[in-house]
Amino acid sequence: MAREYIARDPRTGKPLRKSRAKKDSDIRALLPESGIWESIPRSEIIGLASGDIGAIDLPRSAGGGFARRNDGIRALNRVLESDVESAHGILLECLDDDSSSIRAVALESMPSFSLRKHEGLIMCLSDRLMDESIDVRREAMSSLKKMAPVFPSGCEQLLRRELRHEDLKHRENAFSALKSTSERWAETGCLHIDELIREDDVDLRRRGASILRVLTTKAGAEGWDLIGWCLEDEDAEVRRRASRTLASLAGVEPRIAAILVEVAMSDDDSIVRKSAIGALKKLNMESPRVSRMVVDGARDRDYELRKTCIGLLSIILSGTELRETAKELLRQETRPDLRKRLMSLSTDLEMEGNEDQKNSFLAPLEHVQEEEESDFDMKVMKDGKKGEHHKHELSRPESEGGV
């Protein structure tokens, strides 16, 4: 039986933990493209893949047609458990075959078969990524993208080399593989990005910073450090890509996000500041640190930042403190729309507003129920009749009612 693969941290040798609870890799993502190989009887796969059998005629019940050696190689992942060792040896031979077409087909079969037995396959993949055939290299890159998330520590050195490849196709494929790996193994993602953002090559730093979004909510303190370092990079594009993580971070780690947002708000680049503004709105406004940032931001030279922070003043301040702060800001504000907003915040409408504005602060009258109104009306009518009767008694002559 094939030995189970355990992903380990190359620095400590300890098993890596997955970023999220997942079952073992879905083999469907690793399989070759659907075809006739799926219908080959398991007992015939070894003979067909090794070349001992030239072709087999499939019955109509299985779809019909002829299966040849290429189909047998693609079907190696389907062999019986007793044939795994033989299939593994055949696949290694095919990966080193003189025919480029056989090598390419073997690479198609490699990702799915690696779940049965992986020993030696990654080394062959490394060789095939430097193959003289363009088609073989293309298939090898596809295999790397599939296998890196399954074997993170096994593919580490291979991925490190491909990430720095001079050929942009290799580099782009490697970063795509790193992103997929980071989604499942946060520690592996942090390991590579930690190295990439220290490179002199600005393209590597930019691409590495782009993957930070995958790690924002799952990498913990190591991921926060990477974001902070990228926010201090000399290249504006690196800082921009790092700043796009702040909004997500504010939702899971508001205290850490507040620190990083403060850094981004003071950046010279307008796009970085814009990302900081978006994250600022998601922070806890009751935090003293956030309140200070909002007040300081209301004085900033950047119009969009001032506009946002002035709009948040009524959330963090109230009463006299709000009016005094608005009056202070009004002295230096020149934009008409912001001046109008500050004027409204600096005015005590309860004391200085017009009649309608003052009345809006009065408590509304209590609603009188219909039954209560009806009882009140009946009482008024009775009292009215008594009054009329008394008046009539007083106006009667003494001859009528005198003693």
Residue 122 lies in a domain: yes
**H/E run at residue 55:** strand 55-57
Supply the range of the domain harboring residue 303: 297-307+315-358
Contacts of 372 (CB under 8 A, 6+ apart): none
Q: How many domains does the chain have?
A: 2
Alpha carbons 306 and 333: distance in angstroms, whole number? 10
Alpha carbons 220 and 217: distance in angstroms, whole number? 7
Residue 329 lies in a domain: yes
Q: Which of 55, 88, 96, 86 is closest to 72 using CA atoms? A: 55
Residue 246 lies in a domain: no
List the structure tokens of 13.
């040798």
Alpha carbons 9 and 20: distance in angstroms, whole number? 17
Residue 15 lies in a domain: no
Per-residue pLDDT for the chain (403 aa), expressed as one digit of tens each?
A: 344 444 455 445 555 555 443 444 467 889 999 999 999 999 999 999 999 998 888 887 767 788 999 999 999 999 999 999 999 999 999 999 999 999 999 999 999 999 999 999 999 999 999 999 999 999 999 999 999 999 999 999 999 999 999 999 999 999 999 999 999 999 999 999 999 999 999 999 999 999 999 999 888 899 999 999 999 999 999 999 999 999 999 988 999 999 999 999 989 998 999 999 999 989 988 888 888 888 888 888 888 888 999 988 888 888 888 888 888 888 888 899 989 998 888 886 454 545 554 455 455 656 555 555 555 556 556 555 555 555 455 455 544 444 3
Residue 185 lies in a domain: no
Residue 51 lies in a domain: yes
Q: Which of 323, 334, 333, 250 is closest to 299 using CA atoms? A: 333
φ, ψ of residue 108 to 5 degrees: the values are -60, -40
Alpha carbons 198 and 200: distance in angstroms, whole number? 7
Q: List the alpha helices (DSSP H) in 211-348.
A: 212-215, 220-230, 236-243, 246-252, 254-265, 270-280, 288-297, 303-316, 319-330, 336-346
The answer to whether the CB of 153 falls within 8 A of the CB of 146 is no
State the CB neighbour count (10 A cutoff) for residue 304.
Answer: 12
Residue 131 lies in a domain: yes
**H/E run at residue 68:** strand 66-68
Q: Which amino acid is at 238?
A: V
The answer to whether the CB of 266 falls within 8 A of the CB of 239 is no
Look up the CATH number of the domain holding residue 110.
1.25.40
Residue 161 lies in a domain: no
Give the residue from 93, 116, 147 where a domain finishes. Answer: 147
Q: Which amino acid is at 217?
A: T
The answer to whether the CB of 117 falls within 8 A of the CB of 2 is yes
